[in-house]
Structure 1
Amino acid sequence: MSDVAEFTLNLQVLQVQGLGRIVQAEEYLCQAQWTVLKSTECPYATHSLLHRNLGLLYMAKENYEEARYHLANDIYFASCAFGTEDIRTSGGYFHLANIFYGLKKLDRADTLYTKVSEIWNKYLNNHYQVLSQARIQQIDLLGKRFETDTGLDEAQEAEAIRILTSIWNIRESTSDTAPQKTIFVLKTLVMLYHLMMNSSKAQEYAMRALDLAREQQLSDQEQNSIQDLLSLISAEDAHPVT
């Protein structure tokens, strides 16, 4: 295994384990940074992963200027590797938003939280549409149903839950002035849990969205769209996968 490949694997492990041991993490990431910088074959995705972990490290150390620098590089390299609107790029936006939120730069944080929510919403809805079409074709051909899934691995599902739940918690504090933003995140969580086949969680978030829409007297169109989500969940629960 090459040095870069080994560091890529270890960076992924470090990202999962967290950055609780700051000194150890800093020493390791400095070595990783040197290895990546001197390599001529290092893929953009590895650069992104390195800078994201460095950004998280400096956030833990409360060195927000350095953290912003590395997260900006994370976003750049992730965009080169996957595109600016990819869920794998969204983590950089999310962590950068957290920095702005902590620094009370709320407009910048809001813009980035909105972008992250939209990226995940688009991914989940597009994935659901693909599954729905495949399911229709399979029912027509075989009389069976496809199993619903997210198209994500376990770590990505955990990241999606963590990111979207965090944004929802922040949105809740402003739900009186911007209820649509809160409902948008809730509807995204509904789709995520629905695709994960966790119908109880999907229904819970859908009901939260519906209650908020009614409380804030939002349009019939908005309330109906949430009702449609609830109907979708109920209908698919009534016809379990075979």
Structure 2
Amino acid sequence: MNIICPLAVPKGRRLCCEVCEAPAERVCTACTVTYYCGVVHQRADWDSIHEKICQLLIPLRTTMPFYNSEEERQHGLQQLRQRQKHLIEFCYTVAQKYLFEGKHEAAVPAALHSLRFRMNLHGLSSVELVPAYLLLAEASLGLGQTVQAEEYLSQAQWTVLKSTECSYAIQSLLHRNLGLLHIAKENYEEARYHLANDIYFASCAFGTEDIRTSGGYFHLANIFYGLKKLDVADTLYTKVSEIWSKYLNNRYQVLSEARIQQIDLLGKRFETDTGLDEAQEAEAIQILTSVWNIRESTSDTAPQKTIFVLNTLVMLYYLMMNSSKAQEYAERAFGLAKEHHLSVHEQSTIQELLSLISAEETHPVT
């Protein structure tokens, strides 16, 4: 972490803390353009996001250089906007990843950065601000700050209502977060209403079988599971598992074909990956691990469903190039299949996955 030092504020100029907007007393000595009310908030910001973007902030927060022509000035402005767009998405993804990992406090500074960059680029009333408001609302819920979460969600709702061009994707996110709010308040009827809308808008934007729609099914399943409506919950958990399994297996098939071509053309192995950003990978881990934990409690009566989720986790970690985790889940699946005397075909499918992982460890990607 960079050293912070007392700030000499020019007379008549008010500088604000990056985290809480209180009067600043400290400055980051590495970038000299980021200010804090004290050590606690500087450390929180550093651990969350500032370490990753410290130097990237300098050109955004310093005076633009003098340009010799209007063409050069426009080019400079365009580069500035591109930097802002990059930081908006980067901070958003980092905050999302923290939320899926349950690190709600760490998500706040990153989400605040995304919000401020959006305000600078799009203005104070743009619908582009809504995703950042929703991140902050979700982080607040995770921290038990329901009133604060409601304030962020009210701001998001008001912005959407004023907008004439709000995408289905943003409306989906808004309803998902409203659903999570009502779950926290134990108002399950209202929560179901909003999550049903989340699924509808996500389906309009991406399709009913898309991984970006699966989150709505998952949260809705959790409500029914908590209400002991296990048949409905089971159907929804199955749908979530199938969506992720289909995506990951399709991804594997595409990469396998590309790998063969790459070996033929270049004589080297093709690097596998999930096709997801870090936040989406964290979401996949959170959702599939949660479903697996629930399936484990019923594995005596429905072992195939537990094994199906385990195999999906195997494929996820395999594509993430985490062989140890992939092998761990594959061995669990194989053990469960043998314990319940499942068919030879089902056991051989799991053995194929284990062989795949072993081959990867023997011949690592270069």
- TM-score range for the pair, normalised by the shorter chain length: over 0.9
Between the aligned partners of 1:41 and 1:177, the Cα distance in structure 2 is 49
Q: Name the SS of the counterpart of 2:252 in structure 1.
A: helix
Amino acid at match of 1:222: E
- The reply on whether 1:124 has 2:251 as its aligned counterpart is no
- Bigger drift between 9-18 and 38-47 goes to 9-18
Normalising by structure 2, report the TM-score.
Answer: 0.65
Q: Which residue of 1 aligns with 2:230?
A: 106
Q: How far is the alpha carbon of 1:140 from its aligned partner?
A: 0.2
TM-score, normalization by structure 1? 0.97
Report how far residue 8 of structure 1 moved: 2.2
Deviations 1:164-211 (A, max 9, x none): 000000000110110000000000000000011110110000000000
In 2, the alpha carbon distance for the partners of 1:56 and 1:146 equals 40
- Aligned counterpart, 2:58: none
Report the structure, 1 or 2, having the larger helix content. 1
Question: What is the RMSD computed on CA atoms of the aligned residues?
Answer: 1.2
Name 2:151's counterpart in structure 1: 27
Matches within 5 A, 1:44-193: 44-193=168-317
1:6 aligns with 129
1:222 to 335, 346, 349: 346
Aligned counterparts of 2:187 and 2:261: Cα–Cα separation in 1: 53
Rg bigger for which structure? 2
Report the count of equivalent residues.
242
Matched-pair contact (CA < 8 Å) for 1:164–1:185: yes
SS in 2 for 1:209: helix
- Which ranges of structure 2 fall in alignment gaps of 5 or more residues? 1-121
Q: Deviation string for 1:93-152 (max 9, x for gaps)?
A: 000000000000000000000000000000000001001100100000001112111111
4+ residue segments displaced more than 3 Å: 12-19
Work out the CA distance in 2 between the residues paired with 1:136 and 1:232. 15
Query: What are the ranges of 5 or more consecutive residues in structure 1 without an aligned counterpart?
Result: none
Contact map agreement 2:141 2:184 (CA 8 A) in 1:
no
CA contact (8 A) 1:189 1:205 kept: yes
Cα distance in 2 for partners of 1:208, 1:8 equals 38
Tell me how far apart the structure 2 counterparts of residues 187 and 217 of structure 1 sit (CA, whole Å): 17
Output the CA distance in 2 between the equivalents of 1:96 and 1:199. 32
What is the distance in 2 between the residues matched to 1:230 and 1:16?
38
**1:150·1:196 contact (CA, 8 Å) conserved in 2?**
yes
The sequence identity of aligned pairs, in percent, is: 81
Aligned equivalents of 1:199, 1:19: Cα separation in 2: 31
Secondary structure of 1:135's match? helix
**Deviates further, 28-37 or 5-14:** 5-14
